[in-house]
Amino acid sequence: MSLDNIQSQLAEIVNSGDPTFANFATQINQIVEQAKSGQMSNAEVAEILRDAQSQLVILEEMSDLALKEKLNVAINALIMIASVV
Amino acid sequence: MKRLLAIALVLSLNGCALWEAYNLAHFDPNEYRIVTEIRTDASLYKDQCPDAVVSKANAQAIYLKTQLFENYSEQIPYNSNSIKASKELNNIAKGLKERYAGKDPVSPMFCKLKFESIEHSAQTMQHVLGNRPR
């Protein structure tokens, strides 16, 4: 897959309507632009893209944790209701 | 009636998710402080990337903090999401430190993008960790 193909796929994600992944795709696109400009070695570009995978894992874990936080609030509210009634 | 409704709602949730959410680790000011420091340091260090000597020291300094964050998080019970995220954050910082320790020169752009990755990730974590139940 060429860099141009990758960038067109990223553009689709940018326009997907999901703000989190749109921001993320914009970041990746900037990395691809830097790679094209030759300001980094190939090894450095590869490592930055591996970091992008790590960032995705962090996003996923934090998104899961945010849901658990909301669930925690709801459960405690339900316990309060159940114990008062 | 309200009691029945509350019990029915609780029972309708997935058992494992319910247990994890109920026991979720509470807000920890130390954990929050460390991730805030990582974010702040990375945001300042990224502007110093044209200076390779300073950046090498900065890379070492941020790695010490991400390692501290990983070690701190890993012994907190019911904290699996934060543990996994802190390991990933530490890996990002470790890569920068190791590249400065190597023979090949490190490009200022690579240094800047690394610190930006650390900054953005720490900011994402800070937002969620700050919303933990009190």
How many structural domains is chain A composed of? 1
Neighbours of B52 (CB within 10 A): 14
- Judged by a CB distance cut-off of 8 A, whether residue B64 touches chain A is no
- Judged by a CB distance cut-off of 8 A, whether residue B101 touches chain A is no
This model of the complex carries an ipTM of 0.85
Mutant choice from A32, A53, A69 vs B, greatest count of B C-beta within 10 A: A69
- Judged by a CB distance cut-off of 8 A, whether residue B62 touches chain A is no
Mean pLDDT computed over B86-107:
96
- How much is the pLDDT for A18? 80
Neighbours of A65 (CB within 10 A): 24
Q: Which of B89, B83, B79 is nearest to B122 (CA)?
A: B89
**pTM summary value:** 0.85
d(CA B92, CA B78) in angstroms, rounded, equals 24
Angstroms from A12 CA to nearest CA on chain B: 22
Contact yes or no for B133/A69 (Cβ under 8 A): yes
Under 8 Å CB pairs connecting chains A and B tally to 112
- How much is the pLDDT for B107? 95
Mean pLDDT computed over B71-75:
95
pLDDT in tens, A25-42: 888 888 888 777 888 998
Determine the Cα angle at A37 with ends A35 and A41, to 5°. 50
d(CA A74, CA A50) in angstroms, rounded, equals 37
* Contact between chains at A54 and B92 (C-beta distance less than 8 A): yes
Mutant choice from A20, A60, A72, A79 vs B, greatest count of B C-beta within 10 A: A72
Residue A16's Cβ-count burial label (10 Å; 0-12, 13-18, 19+) is exposed
pLDDT in tens, B107-129: 999 999 999 999 999 999 999 99
Residue B8 has pLDDT above 60, yes or no: no
- Which residues constitute the domain of residue A56? 3-84
